[in-house]
């Protein structure tokens, strides 16, 4: 990256931060109204209004990126997407820029992407309470060691997350889950001894947890592959600064098999093996696509 890229990245980040602070004002005010209101229909209408504020926030961010960063977009597979469908979305994960790219691709084409967030992220200044206002599900996962020390915790993760997802039944929602669980680096790839060339091993347990928590509501998978130029840097600053000139995004809409929400991933070895095989096949296809486009 040269000095121009750094200046552009700083300017884009500043404008995105300013956009965030400005639009958090009506978001917070409307949230206060929502807290004061009673009645299911009022709650639904106010939740939709909050989502519209977030979608406008993303639209402004997209305009900032188009004006300052000026990436060239090459996007495939949006033709059949619907705003009135429930989706599970996933993508290969290489950079924090991936989230901005997903918001660019899907804003107002599918319901707003919502992430499962760790309980600790509620403390993030400004954004933590904004995520809470937008009904992002906050979850606290208990480790196996914690459950062994206190067996009463068994099943609490799924129960808590199901309660957090109850609001998703009122109107269509898209739930985002990076199957790899972390950003790709060559060091992580080598440490895992990943069987894929451009991907880390997917964590099937988190996906099974998500589908189980949603109780079969998620029937469509948005399988997203983000392809950066092979020799381009992968940082958020590089994307915002314009050092990444071309971004390819391939979207494949897939049916989620009904059986994926009906098993016990933790305690049923046969179900766990079947689920892992399903995810592995998806990941093998994604790696083959990346190899075809990058090699």
What CATH class has 72-294?
alpha beta
Partners of 254 in the β-ladder: 221
What was the pLDDT predicted at 293? 92
What was the pLDDT predicted at 157? 65
Domain ranges within the chain, ordered by starting residue = 72-294
Low-confidence ranges of the chain (pLDDT < 70): 140-144, 147, 153-158, 160-161, 164
What was the pLDDT predicted at 205? 83
What was the pLDDT predicted at 195? 95
What was the pLDDT predicted at 2? 86
Q: In whole angstroms, what is the distance from residue 153 CA to residue 226 CA? A: 38
Q: In whole angstroms, what is the distance from residue 213 CA to residue 159 CA? A: 8
What was the pLDDT predicted at 132? 87
What was the pLDDT predicted at 88? 93
What was the pLDDT predicted at 160? 65
pLDDT in tens, 176-204: 989 998 899 999 999 999 999 999 999 88
Partners of 277 in the β-ladder: none
C-alpha 31, offset from chain centre: 23
What was the pLDDT predicted at 181? 85
What was the pLDDT predicted at 227? 96
What was the pLDDT predicted at 142? 64
Name the pTM for this structure.
0.89
What was the pLDDT predicted at 18? 96
The number of beta carbons lying within 10 Å of the beta carbon of residue 68 is 20
Q: In whole angstroms, what is the distance from residue 148 CA to residue 60 CA? A: 48
User: Which two structure tokens, joined as six digits, stand for 18?
Assistant: 């300013």
Radius of gyration of the chain (CA): 20
pLDDT in tens, 235-274: 999 999 999 999 999 999 999 999 998 888 888 999 999 9
Residue of 258, 289, 231 lying closest to 91 (CA atoms): 289
């Amino acid at each position: 990256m040269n000095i121009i890229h750094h200046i552009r990245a700083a300017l884009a980040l500043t404008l995105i931060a300013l956009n965030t602070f400005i639009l958090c004002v009506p978001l917070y005010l409307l949230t206060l109204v929502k807290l004061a209101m009673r009645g299911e229909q009022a709650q639904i209408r106010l939740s939709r209004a909050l989502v519209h504020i977030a979608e406008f926030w993303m639209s402004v961010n997209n305009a900032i990126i188009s004006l300052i960063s000026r990436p060239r977009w090459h996007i495939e597979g949006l033709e059949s997407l619907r705003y009135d469908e429930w989706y599970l979305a996933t993508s290969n994960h290489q950079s924090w820029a991936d989230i901005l790219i997903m918001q660019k691709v899907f804003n107002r084409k599918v319901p707003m992407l919502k992430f499962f967030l760790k309980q600790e992220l509620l403390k993030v200044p400004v954004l933590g309470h904004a995520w809470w206002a937008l009904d992002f599900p906050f979850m606290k996962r208990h480790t196996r060691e914690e459950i062994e020390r206190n067996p009463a915790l068994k099943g609490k993760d799924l129960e808590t997350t199901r309660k957090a997802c109850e609001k998703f039944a009122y109107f269509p929602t898209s739930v985002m889950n990076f199957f790899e669980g972390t950003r790709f680096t060559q060091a992580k790839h080598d440490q895992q001894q990943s069987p894929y060339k451009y991907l880390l091993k997917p964590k099937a347990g988190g996906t099974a947890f998500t589908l189980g928590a949603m109780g079969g509501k998620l029937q469509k998978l948005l399988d997203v592959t983000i392809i950066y130029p092979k020799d381009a840097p992968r940082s958020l600053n590089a994307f915002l600064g314009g050092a990444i000139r071309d971004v390819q995004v391939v979207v494949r809409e897939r049916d989620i098999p009904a059986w994926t929400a009906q098993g016990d991933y933790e305690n049923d070895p046969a179900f766990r093996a079947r689920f892992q095989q399903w995810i592995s096949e998806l990941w093998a296809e994604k790696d083959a696509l990346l190899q075809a486009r990058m090699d």
